[in-house]
Every structure is written in structure tokens, then in C-alpha cells.
Amino acid sequence: MDPLKNTKESGIIEDARRLRRERGRVRAALMTDEQREEINMKRREAYKMKKCHAQNKENDPGLCSLLHD
């Protein structure tokens, strides 16, 4: 049994999550196209680095930086 589901705090946690999602939606709606493109570019780069690191974890770790420069 999950202790958080049976306490008063679970309502507080759910409210906090709801507010965070709402703030994120508002922030995303107010972004310009350039800001959105910059954030997406950073996300794609982080994804590539993470994927490359996972594939080359046992091999040469410096290989990823050479591939993405």
C-alpha cells in the first residue's frame, strides 16, 4: 500500500503537480518561435549526447564529442 495515497499530503502533492503543469503550459504559450527552437535544439543535442554516451559507455568515451562537433 502506498503511504502517500492515504494521507492528507497526497492532495498537496497533486496540487503542486497540477500547478507546475499549468505554469509550464503558460510559459510554453508565451514563448516566441526563436525561443522554442532554441529549447528544442538543446533538447535534441542532449538526447544525442545521452544516446551516444549509452552506446559507447564501454568503448571510447571521447568518441561522442568527436562525432558531434
> Above 60 in pLDDT, residue 29?
yes
Tallying the residues shown for the chain, one arrives at 69
| DSSP count for the chain of H helices, then E strands | 3, 0
Average pLDDT, whole number, for the chain?
A: 82
pLDDT band at 1 (very low <50, low <70, confident <90, very high): very low
> Above 50 in pLDDT, residue 9?
yes
Instruction: Give mean pLDDT, residues 38-63.
Output: 83
